[in-house]
């Protein structure tokens, strides 16, 4: 249990060596969580810098000289790792869960602490990227760079052409009208309709809510592709290391420099914590 010293609310001194940078960026770069998750950790009072609790933003520190800890454990840089996971149903995409439910990150076969890039809800299955590369994750979830996500959707009943056209043109949700989507019918009977839909937006439960808005209940939802990266060949609940070519593709697609990284796509030591 960490003993928390009283803080004045000021950003702790970050020394003279190097340039102070945002605390959440330091934490994310060390593989603690996504940038947003690290902000939540800071605001909860779980982070100390040189013995002082930091619970306000913005906050800055110097990773070269400062003693930065999360829940009492000092952070250290980790090698970047990248995994594709076929997420099963009833597995959640957060690093912390008070209810103790199974987490996607626990399925990554590595010692490094990873996080999910984006989220799939608890009932949705399929492809999700696990990594500790905060820079790439931040780009992949930014509206400017978001790659199309492709899903296989099974709904009850026979979906008519008018409803499918509405999906293609956009559906009005509480946040506004969704962007245009690519929709393809895979199978259609009087009992159920199976479609493939590709979207770029990342609104909360967007696919399920769009179908519900049109009067169709989603029976099964599976993400099958992120950009050009496919789920094919990954069994449910299993991870596959991102290949060098796949990593280079993601870096190019998100406008990152030095697409051809010298580091390996995933850690050689795959011993589980």
CATH number, domain with residue 96: 3.30.70.580
> 203 and 86 in one domain?
no
Look at the chain and report how many structural domains it folds into. Answer: 3
> 218 and 167 in one domain?
yes
> 243 and 130 in one domain?
yes
Q: Residue 100 pLDDT > 90, yes or no? A: no
pLDDT tens for 139-154 read: 898 888 888 999 999 9
Give a yes or no: residue 86 inside a domain: yes
Check residue 258 and give its pLDDT: 55
Give a yes or no: residue 271 inside a domain: no
Burial code (b: 16+ CB inside 10 Å, e: under 16) for 7-44 equals beeebbebeeeeebebbbbbbbbbbbbbbebbbebbee
Give strand pairing partners of 128. Answer: 85
Cβ(130)–Cβ(34) below 8 Å = no
> 122 and 93 in one domain?
yes
> 193 and 90 in one domain?
no
Lowest mean pLDDT among 129-138, 155-164, 183-192, 214-223: 129-138
Q: Residue 30 pLDDT > 90, yes or no? A: no
pLDDT, average across residues 28-43: 86
Check residue 18 and give its pLDDT: 61
> 235 and 110 in one domain?
yes
Lowest mean pLDDT among 7-11, 59-63, 100-104, 235-239: 7-11
Q: How far is CA 12 from CA 7, 38, 56, 162, 254, in A?
A: 9, 17, 11, 59, 34
Q: Residue 14 pLDDT > 70, yes or no? A: no
> 220 and 153 in one domain?
yes
The β-bridge relationship of strands 218-226 and 125-131 is parallel
Give a yes or no: residue 7 inside a domain: no
The pTM score is 0.71
Check residue 16 and give its pLDDT: 42
pLDDT tens for 179-231 read: 999 999 999 999 999 999 999 988 889 999 999 999 999 999 999 999 999 99
The three-class DSSP label of residue 192 is strand
- CATH number of the domain encompassing residue 183: 3.30.70.1560
Q: Which two tokens stand for residue 205?
A: 């439960």
pLDDT, average across residues 21-49: 89
Give a yes or no: residue 1 inside a domain: no
Q: Residue 6 pLDDT > 60, yes or no? A: no
Give a yes or no: residue 131 inside a domain: yes
pLDDT tier, 9 (very low <50, low <70, confident <90, very high otherwise): very low
> 245 and 219 in one domain?
no
> 215 and 155 in one domain?
yes
pLDDT tens for 45-80 read: 999 999 999 999 999 998 878 999 999 999 877 788
Please give the distance of CA 208 from its chain centroid, rounded to a whole number: 19
Is residue 152 within a helix (H) or strand (E), and if so which, with residue range? Answer: strand 149-156
Active site residues: 121
> 181 and 159 in one domain?
yes
- CATH number of the domain encompassing residue 36: 3.10.290.10
Check residue 88 and give its pLDDT: 97
Check residue 11 and give its pLDDT: 47
> 222 and 165 in one domain?
yes
Give a yes or no: residue 5 inside a domain: no
Check residue 108 and give its pLDDT: 93
Choose between 142 and 156: higher pLDDT: 156
Give a yes or no: residue 261 inside a domain: no
Distance between CA atoms of residues 107 and 85, nearest Å: 8
Give a yes or no: residue 11 inside a domain: no
Burial code (b: 16+ CB inside 10 Å, e: under 16) for 186-196 equals eebeeebbbbe
Check residue 202 and give its pLDDT: 82
Enclosing domain of residue 47: 21-74
Q: Residue 13 pLDDT > 70, yes or no? A: no
> 191 and 64 in one domain?
no
Please provide the average confidence, as pLDDT, over all residues in the chain: 86
């Amino acid at each position: 249990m960490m003993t928390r010293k009283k803080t004045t609310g000021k950003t702790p001194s970050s020394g003279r060596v190097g340039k102070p940078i945002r605390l959440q960026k330091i934490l994310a770069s060390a593989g603690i969580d996504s940038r947003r998750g690290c902000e939540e950790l800071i605001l909860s009072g779980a982070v100390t810098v040189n013995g002082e609790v930091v619970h306000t933003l913005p906050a800055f520190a110097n990773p070269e000289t400062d003693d930065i800890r999360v829940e009492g454990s000092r952070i250290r840089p980790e090698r970047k790792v990248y995994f594709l996971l076929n997420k099963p149903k009833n597995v959640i995409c957060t690093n912390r869960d008070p209810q103790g439910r199974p987490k996607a990150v626990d399925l990554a076969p590595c010692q490094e602490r990873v996080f999910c890039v984006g989220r799939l809800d608890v009932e949705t299955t399929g492809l999700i990227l696990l990594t500790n590369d905060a820079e790439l994750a931040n780009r992949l979830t930014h509206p400017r760079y978001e790659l199309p996500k492709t899903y296989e959707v099974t709904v009850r009943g026979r979906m008519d052409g008018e409803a499918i056209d509405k999906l293609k043109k956009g559906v009005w949700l509480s946040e506004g009208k969704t962007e245009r989507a690519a929709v393809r019918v895979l199978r259609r009977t009087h009992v159920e309709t199976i479609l493939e839909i590709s979207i770029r937006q990342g609104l909360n439960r967007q696919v399920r809510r769009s179908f519900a808005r049109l009067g169709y209940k989603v029976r099964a939802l599976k993400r099958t592709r992120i950009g050009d990266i496919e789920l094919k060949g990954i069994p449910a609940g299993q991870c596959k290391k991102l290949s060098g070519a796949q990593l280079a593709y993601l870096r190019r697609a998100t406008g990152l420099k030095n697409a051809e990284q010298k580091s390996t796509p995933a850690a050689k030591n795959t011993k589980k914590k």
